[in-house]
Amino acid sequence: MISVQQPTDVPTNAPDHCPGTESDLAGKVDACEGCPNQDICASGQTKSTAQDPSTIPMINERLAGVKRKILVLSGKGGVGKSTFTSQLGWALAADEDIQTGIMDIDVCGPSIPTILGISNESIHSSSSGWSPIYVQPNLSAISIGFLLPSQSSAVIWRGPKKNGIISQFLRDVDWGELDWMLVDTPPGTSDEHLSIVKYLKDTAGVDGAVLITTPQEVALQDVRKEIDFCRKVGIPILGLVENMSGFVCPGCKTESQIFKPTTGGAKRLAEEAGIELLGTVPLDPRIGKSADYGVSFLDEYPDSPATEAYLNIVDRLRDILGDK
Amino acid sequence: MSAQGETPISRRLSKVKHIIIVCSGKGGVGKSSVSVQVALSLYASSPNTRVGILDVDLTGPSIPRMLGLDGHPVHQSTDGWVPVYADGGEARLACMSVAFLLKKKDDSVVWRGPKKNAMIRQFLSDVRWGELDYLIIDTPPGTSDEHISLIEHLSPVHSRLSGIVVTTPQAVALLDAMKCISFARTVSLPLLGVIENMSGYACPCCGEISNVFSTGGGESMAKRENIPFLGTLPIDTELVTLLDAAETEQEDDKPTGDEVHEGFRLLGRYKATSSAKLFGSIVENVLSGLARSGTG
């Protein structure tokens, strides 16, 4: 089954290239000239809940009980944002008194449900809103993955619809009291990133961003852009994490570099950009396996050097944000 | 969609024989490096093959770096933007990317969908691609604006389109690859096949193979979905380094003596990697796929 959202908000009497009645551009672009709906669209009455004036106050109310909000960003795909977000969640949840929520705003490729081992769950709605899915009593998550009819369903949405689901996650989910909210993002610097930053800045604020990279220059190039994005939109950068940093052969125990840091790796980038290198995590094949099976790598393999690296990074983040 | 009418894009692409869209759903599985390898391999398949490579990953453009074209400016001619040629004077490997248009390399491109849509349209209609045997289009992860825009803008030339899905073996990647396959089916994009990347890593010291991102998942998925399996590529650190730090080809660099058959420098260095040898059979499968689909 496919979720193709593309032309559902285009009325039957609309001209070619109608931007959609719910778009920011509704009624305002060249294509709208002469359309009988132009005036209504331009007045804003057709816009979705994303632009509903009650959205901001509602988000404020929902996030009033959330102490710390962190974005996990990269710019580059496949560097381990979702994996890191999940391990961070589990590490925080090891303390029973800490409540953590994970919001997965990667609408096209939601990996959080799989990595947390809750991919078969669906969201329940009640009078108090949507319930996030609980991995354990003090760790919950929300993701579009829980809303799709099957795991192979593609979400083929343009920006405005993605914007809409993000505002719903903020407005309609009953998180309750949280010590930490971790927001896992897709790669890039586009609609999802602009939307989450805008909503959070207009409401309860964001404490900062953790940037994830791998050592090679093609990844660092994208992370530099992400740093530029954070600075442009005013998000404090908590620090940089280098993933897949070295590999220890299980056979001969020699360490080798799969993704060679041809331009100095995250260490040099952190120095140049004036941000903190929170830590480097080596590539342990059991991380990917744990993610696939939906179990906590930290719990399964407490002796791995990667576990030590993750826990040190979590400690550092808790120091920075005053959670000790 | 006026598939029959001429549009600026169909006119611009009138001399492009095949358009191959490389997608994955998942980020970081090697779309860009596979796009470059497909382009280099097709380029090397004959001394006359003309290849173009279009990078529509607007927020994370990797292709210029991989081809050693970082920092290259783009020139305007009366007939549109001149693509950047990666092979120096021979000028039969054309490239276009938003990276060439950024004032500063580290500037972020923070665009919402409509602006991305407009840029992609320009890349298709305003670049002087000329005569090409193959145009490879590298896409960003996901199934969103860029992908929708590509398919829409390319609808007049839909019969010349095909796709390649790149995945790594593990489950989180395969889930996203399935979404990409669903997308291709929704928009009737014929798939030439699936490539399983990063399948195994050989320790440089003792040669023991570690399946750092698992193994075999891509092949099983292709079988299950009845899509041709194009091949498996292990992690090749030499290739990673080559594409990370490719040197710029100078325009007046001409191959001399034995190098004549190696083509330009990047191509020569690529041919020496273990991936290039494996890619030979992948490209053969690609070419058979194109022939089978009737556009060959």
CA distance A152 to chain B (A): 5
> Is B199 among the domain residues?
yes
Please answer yes or no on whether B172 and A292 come within 8 Å at the CB atom: yes
**Beta strands B93-97; B84-85: pairing state:** antiparallel
For chain A, list the domains and their CATH numbers: 1-47 (no CATH), 67-320 (3.40.50.300)
Please answer yes or no on whether B110 and A82 come within 8 Å at the CB atom: no
Please answer yes or no on whether B205 and A252 come within 8 Å at the CB atom: yes
Alpha-carbon gap, residue B294 to B204, rounded angstroms? 43
Q: What share of chain A is helix, strand, coil (3-state, %, to 5)?
A: 40, 20, 45
- What residues of chain B, 234 to 253, have a C-beta less than 8 Å from chain A? 235, 237, 240-241, 243-245
pLDDT, tens digit, 9 for 90 and up, residues B198-217: 999 988 888 788 888 988 99
> Considering the entire predicted model, what is its pTM?
0.86
In this predicted structure, what is the pLDDT of residue A253? 76
> Is B114 among the domain residues?
yes
Which of B172, B180, B206 has the CB atom closest to A252's CB atom?
B206
> Is B232 among the domain residues?
yes
pLDDT, tens digit, 9 for 90 and up, residues A30-48: 677 777 677 666 655 555 4
Minimum Cα–Cα distance from B183: chain A residue: A154
A81, A165, A218, A220: best mutation site toward chain B, by most B Cβ within 10 Å?
A: A218
Our CA dihedral for A152, A153, A157, A163, rounded to 10 degrees, sits at -90
Closest residue by Cα to residue B132 from B85, B66, B70:
B85
Residue A227: CA count within 13 A, CB half-sphere: 23
In contact, B249 and B91? CB cutoff 8 Å: no
> Is B178 among the domain residues?
yes
> Is B136 among the domain residues?
yes
> Is B5 among the domain residues?
no
Indicate which CATH number applies to the domain containing B224. Answer: 3.40.50.300
Alpha-carbon gap, residue B91 to A315, rounded angstroms? 54
Which residues does chain B have within 8 Å of residue A226's beta carbon, measured at their own beta carbons?
Answer: 108
Alpha-carbon torsion B5, B92, B280, B171, what sign? Answer: negative
In contact, A313 and A319? CB cutoff 8 Å: no
**Beta strands A100-104; A66-73: pairing state:** unpaired
> Is B6 among the domain residues?
no
Q: Is B265 on the interface with A (CB under 8 A)?
A: no
Number of domains in chain B: 1
pLDDT, tens digit, 9 for 90 and up, residues B219-254: 999 999 999 999 999 999 999 999 988 766 554 455
B28 marked as part of a ligand binding site: yes
Minimum Cα–Cα distance from A254: chain B residue: B205
Only one residue has tokens 């580059």, namely A76
pLDDT, tens digit, 9 for 90 and up, residues A189-241: 888 999 999 999 888 789 999 999 999 999 999 999 999 999 999 999 999 99
In this predicted structure, what is the pLDDT of residue B252? 46
Structure tokens at A197: 């930053």
> What ipTM goes with this model?
0.86
Structural domain harbouring B240? 11-292
Which of B59, B107, B176 has the CB atom closest to A109's CB atom?
B176
> Is B156 among the domain residues?
yes
